[in-house]
């Protein structure tokens, strides 16, 4: 079986260039499939109320260009939506800061939280680790779904691209359950369980400016200059991993889990890449995430996992005592402790902590850092 991926150069977010590059990438991927009647949903990455220049969220010009592509197929109602991080419940702030509000000026386009039509209990045939999941009804019922992901690193899952973007379809309880394990593989399997419920009809990856380092919230924006399109999320993620410099993308547990279940290409030979050569994709000096055991071959990962650790560490000077880290911790390992200047500092119970790094991901000031032990630093230096 073969999987087409379209890729087009796009140097910045100037509207005309994004529209031209989007059209090229989509065409090179074989075009959008036919859209059934009903609402067309664009599942964006709106992790937090962050400005587009921070590269945390899918850029609004990418979303606007996707709307343009959908409209070429018919005059559909279009909804742009996501479930952001647990603590961001103010849809107005989310849509305003991310620039998504601007896209809703187009007639027939609305935006909001993905779970605003309710949540449904689901059990997928391909589930490996979850015994059930609670998922956005709007996502399940959409007549057509475009997955509009952002190319980013991720301290826990290594990459956050098309497959990872679907994690946001689940409610808070399900996402906490997925994070509440110390096993990186279990989290990857759980995310792919969610992805298997209803794979999106088409995938767009915003790789014009991506994120390197300790993503998905606190990495550095990195200019890359591509829009990637495919009907296969896994095939698009192969291209994303190649851009980040992975020689064997299947060493990323998330991708291995999807490939093992036949959800896309299991080898690079199964991908037809239109618009670029594989050799020109890697971005020179791209800083991968500190995600644990990347540097080791797959068969050593289980052993190395116990020795190479990355865990949360508070930088008290940057902490504003907002308490967000305590709210997002899936295993209730964070409690308030009195700080010297009367603000409440978070105290981490190291016995309970499963090192999921949700507190790092959601900390608004970057005060909860991702700390690597000596072996992790050595692994990083020698990779
Ligand atoms: S570490 Fe971050 S999230 Fe936690 S209280 Fe301090 S500023 Fe808030
Ligand atoms: S303290 Fe932070 S890293 Fe540890 S389990 Fe809680 S959220 Fe995860």
Span 227-236, pLDDT tens digits? 999 999 999 9
Asked if residue 231 belongs to a domain, the reply is: yes
Asked if residue 58 belongs to a domain, the reply is: yes
The pLDDT of residue 383 is above 70:
no
Q: Is there a single domain that holds both residue 216 and residue 105?
A: yes
Distance CA 114, CA 161 (A): 18
DSSP secondary structure string, 173-213? HHHHHHHSSS-HHHHHHHHHHHHHHS--SEEEEEEEEEEES
Which residue's entry shows tokens 């587009």?
A: 52
Could you tell me the distance, in angstroms and rounded to a whole number, from the CA of residue 41 to the centre of ligand 2?
Answer: 32
Q: Is there a single domain that holds both residue 157 and residue 49?
A: yes
Instruction: Tell which residue, 125, 117, 129, 286, has the closest CA to residue 209.
Output: 286
Q: Is there a single domain that holds both residue 268 and residue 160?
A: yes
Give residue 262's domain range.
3-280
Structural domains counted in the chain: 2
Q: Residue 374 is part of a domain; what is its CATH number?
A: 3.30.70.20
Q: Is there a single domain that holds both residue 154 and residue 186?
A: yes
Ligand 2 atom with minimal separation from the 358 CA? 7
Q: Is there a single domain that holds both residue 36 and residue 111?
A: yes
Q: Is there a single domain that holds both residue 322 and residue 268?
A: no
Could you tell me the distance, in angstroms and rounded to a whole number, from the CA of residue 1 to the centre of ligand 1?
Answer: 48
Residue ending a domain, among 229, 248, 280, is: 280
Question: pLDDT tens for residues 205-253?
Answer: 999 999 999 899 999 999 999 999 999 999 999 999 999 999 999 999 9
Confidence category of residue 78, pLDDT binned at 50, 70, 90: very high
Could you give the percent of the chain with pLDDT greater than 90? 78
pLDDT of residue 290: 72
Q: Is there a single domain that holds both residue 70 and residue 218?
A: yes
Confidence category of residue 349, pLDDT binned at 50, 70, 90: very high
Task: State the alpha helices, DSSP H only, in 261-357.
Answer: 301-305, 324-328
Cβ of 346 closer than 6 Å to ligand 1, yes or no, is yes
Q: Which pTM does this prediction carry?
A: 0.89
Task: State the alpha helices, DSSP H only, in 319-364.
Answer: 324-328, 358-362
Question: pLDDT tens for residues 8-43?
Answer: 999 999 999 999 999 999 999 999 999 877 789 999
Q: Is there a single domain that holds both residue 274 and residue 312?
A: no
**Of the listed ranges 23-32, 51-60, 195-204, 311-320, the one predicted with least confidence:** 311-320
Residue ending a domain, among 247, 280, 313, is: 280
Contact residues of ligand 2, CB 6 A cut-off: 312, 329, 331, 333-334, 348, 353-359
Q: At what angle do helices 184-197 and 172-179 cross, to 10 degrees?
A: 150
Ligand 2 atom with minimal separation from the 368 CA? 2
Could you tell me the distance, in angstroms and rounded to a whole number, from the CA of residue 327 to the centre of ligand 1?
Answer: 10
Cβ of 324 closer than 6 Å to ligand 1, yes or no, is yes
Q: Is there a single domain that holds both residue 116 and residue 82?
A: yes
Asked if residue 169 belongs to a domain, the reply is: yes
Average pLDDT score, the chain: 91
């Amino acid at each position: 079986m073969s999987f087409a991926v379209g890729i087009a150069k796009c140097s910045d977010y100037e509207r005309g260039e994004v529209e031209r590059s989007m059209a090229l990438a989509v065409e090179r991927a074989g075009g959008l499939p036919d859209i059934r009647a009903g609402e067309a949903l664009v599942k964006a990455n709106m992790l937090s109320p962050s400005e587009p220049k921070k590269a945390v969220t899918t850029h609004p010009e990418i979303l606007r260009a996707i709307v343009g592509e959908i409209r070429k197929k018919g005059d559909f109602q279009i909804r742009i939506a996501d479930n952001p991080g647990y603590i961001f419940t103010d849809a107005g702030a989310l849509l305003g800061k991310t620039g998504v509000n601007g896209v809703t000026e187009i007639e027939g386009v609305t935006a909001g939280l993905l779970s605003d039509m309710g949540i449904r209990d689901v059990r997928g045939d391909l589930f490996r680790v979850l015994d059930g999941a609670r998922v956005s009804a709007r996502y399940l019922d959409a007549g057509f779904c475009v997955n509009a992901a952002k190319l980013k690193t991720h301290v826990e899952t290594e990459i956050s691209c098309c497959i990872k973007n679907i994690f946001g379809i689940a409610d808070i309880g399900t996402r906490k359950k997925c994070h509440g394990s110390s096993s990186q593989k279990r989290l990857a399997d759980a995310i792919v369980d969610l992805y298997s419920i209803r794979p999106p009809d088409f995938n767009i990856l915003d790789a014009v400016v991506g994120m390197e380092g300790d993503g998905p919230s606190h990495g550095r924006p990195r200019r890359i200059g591509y829009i990637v399109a495919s009907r296969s999320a896994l095939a698009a993620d192969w291209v994303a991993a190649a851009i980040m410099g992975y020689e064997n993308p299947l060493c990323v547990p998330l991708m291995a889990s999807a490939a093992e279940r036949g959800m896309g290409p299991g080898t690079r030979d199964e991908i037809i890449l239109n618009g670029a050569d594989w050799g020109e994709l890697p971005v020179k000096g791209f800083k991968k995430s500190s995600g644990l055991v990347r540097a080791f071959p797959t068969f050593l990962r289980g052993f190395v996992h116990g020795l190479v650790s990355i865990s949360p560490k508070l930088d008290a000077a940057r902490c504003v005592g907002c308490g967000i880290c305590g709210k997002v911790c899936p295993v209730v390992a964070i409690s308030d402790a009195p700080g010297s200047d009367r603000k409440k500092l978070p105290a981490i119970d190291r016995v309970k902590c499963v090192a999921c790094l949700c507190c790092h991901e959601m900390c608004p000031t970057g005060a909860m850092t991702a700390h690597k032990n000596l072996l992790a630093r050595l692994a990083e230096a020698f990779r």
